[in-house]
Amino acid sequence: AQIRSKRTDVKTHRRGYREATVEKKLKFGSAESMEGVKHAESVKNVEQKRHFYNRFFQKKRYKDAYRAARVGKSAGSLGGATTIAGVENMTVKAKIALKEIIKRNRAMFAGIGIFALLFLVIAVSLGSCSASIEGAGSVIGITTYPSSDEDIYAAENRYAALESALNQQINEMERRHPDYDEYQYNIAEIGHNPYHLISYLTAKYGDWTYSDVENELQSLFEAQYHLNTEGRTETVTETRNVRVGESLGQVVTSGYCNCRICCGVWSGGPTASGAYPTANHTIAVDASNPFVPIGTKVVMNGVEYTVEDTGAFARYGVQFDVYYDNHAAASAHGHQTWEAYIADDNGSQEVTVTSTSTKKILYVTLTNGSFDAVARANLNAEQLIIYNALNTTYGNRNYLWDINNVTSGSGGNGMSYEIPPEALQDEEFARMIREAEKYLGVPYVWGGYSPSGFDCSGFVSYVINHCGNGWNYGRLTAEGLRGVCTYVSPGEAKPGDLIFFQGTYNTSGASHVGIYVGNNMMIHCGDPIHYSNISTSYWQQHFMCFGRLP
């Protein structure tokens, strides 16, 4: 996700605001009335008491399950048939989880004195299933999701539906706000780790049902995501490179001569280039905002002109002032729109074209505060320990979702990722990633191409041009980078390949680009530059292709 413009082939520089900006925060839903809040709090207190008793009976069900397992019977309350071997396997996982949680939360244990969990670790460490069966049941009770698959999937599907609706809201931004010339997007990755969601709900509510947590899901979603729009009217200067023989597009022309009316104190003298003007040969560009450089040869209406003079007319929407040898002919020209081409006689193979205009721009910004961060902010010390334990064991229900293909839910995080050692044996990639990681955390800046701020294609262009691999492609757009790459199938992609996405906003071709680092991970410029998992539904939905630089 990322700030974009409908015109991706240009570099843009903001020259200041022409109007006061108007900011609007889009809300996800209406606020409850105070009576509703009070009622919700009352219900919450009742529910907390109910969940306290649910936890007590939950532990009892686990003890009964282990007793059944010891005599070879099934234990339905654990969600399926459970044998002694299965109990021992879960016990090992729980033991590892609790040791890891204690290591991560030493200060917390010291502060709140939850010595019961330490006892459980000792009990599980006895080694004999029969000796530790009662303690193990309690451990697994802490590290297992007690809710039914049906309720778990219902909660996850509801949260995913909220994210899908948010994505649709962003996709429809231009249809709902049609009065803008340009739309720029700074969109964080939309996604969360489903295990984090279920671990949070379990740590907070114990043995919950979907109806218990339905309202909580909306609150969590609104805490994780913030969508803002801001409309501005700006004076924008754009530059692009046009090769000889290519069209500059439709340009507005006016006429002038060498008289005092047209040229004032400079009448009768040479042009800005030092040459004397000639009809059907000399044209002028604005002195402050030249459309093309002095000396450029341009073909219009079958005549080849040379830019030899300057004036002050860009404010009238004019790109070229055409020289005539008398004032009557110059006045008769008025304002005419012609198609212009870069002439073959230009010494360079391409010309830098600059244009200035006033545009109404809608900025759309989505921030993802990370579900994990939201969860931790809403849990007390004891609940945090349970949350960490459940995340370590995946609630002993790792069949719920593929643990290798769930989003990190990092939002603006993703500052650290360990590159596989074998990937770093490729010196070309090693140089590339060393350069890229220098800029982790650098903010997104529209059109940015420096360590003070990048956009997605500016970041990748800068890395490949400065990593020491001999590449020098200049400042390219995402589609421009795709054009210099060789297509690579997903099965053959390797660290150092570029990865392209489409449809992240309304434009043709590639709309976003990152650097693939292996194991379904990429480093790219969101806001800020960070690592992201490309297996998430968002990136898979917009995936275009891999490309390899020559």
Place of tokens 């299933």: 129
Alpha carbon distances (Å) from 8 to 361, 453, 506 = 15, 17, 11
For 398, residues 6+ apart whose C-beta sits below 8 A from its C-beta are none
Q: Domain segments of the chain: what residues?
A: 11-25+149-235+362-403, 34-142, 245-347, 414-548
Per-residue burial over 62-93, b = 16 or more CB atoms within 10 Å of its CB, e = otherwise: beebbebbeeeeebeebbeebeeeebeebbeb
Structure token pair of residue 72? 């070879």
- Which pair of structure tokens corresponds to residue 538? 């968002």
| Calpha distance 173→550 (Å, rounded) | 38
Q: pTM of the predicted model, to two decimals?
A: 0.51
CATH class of this structure's domain 245-347: mainly beta
Tens of pLDDT, residue by residue, the chain (550 residues): 443 333 333 333 433 333 334 445 555 543 333 344 344 444 444 444 444 434 444 444 444 444 444 444 433 334 334 444 444 455 555 555 555 555 555 544 444 444 444 444 444 443 444 444 444 445 556 788 999 999 999 999 999 999 999 988 988 888 999 999 888 777 777 888 899 999 999 999 999 999 999 999 999 999 999 999 999 888 777 777 888 888 888 999 999 999 999 998 889 999 999 999 999 999 999 998 889 999 999 999 999 999 999 999 988 889 999 999 999 999 999 999 999 999 988 877 788 887 777 888 898 888 888 888 899 999 998 888 888 888 888 898 888 988 766 655 554 456 667 888 899 999 999 999 999 999 998 888 777 898 988 889 999 999 999 999 999 999 999 999 999 999 999 999 999 999 999 988 767 889 999 999 998 899 998 768 888 888 877 788 889 999 999 9
Rounded to whole angstroms, how far apart are CA atoms 79 and 56?
A: 18
Cβ–Cβ under 8 Å, residues 411 and 370: yes
With beta carbons less than 8 A apart as the criterion, state whether 432 and 426 touch. no
Q: Assess if CATH 3.90.1720.10 describes domain 414-548.
A: yes
Tokens encoding 50: 């109910």
Contact 490, 534 (CB under 8 A): no
Partnered with residue 250 across adjacent β-strands are 339
Query: What pLDDT shows up at residue 443?
Result: 82
Q: Which amino acid is at 207?
A: D
**Terminal-to-terminal C-alpha distance of the chain:** 27
Helical pair 84-104 and 129-142, crossing angle rounded to 10 deg: 60
CA neighbor of 196 nearest in space, from 444, 395, 455, 447: 395
The answer to whether 106 and 114 are in contact (CB under 8 A) is no
CA distance 413 to 183: 25
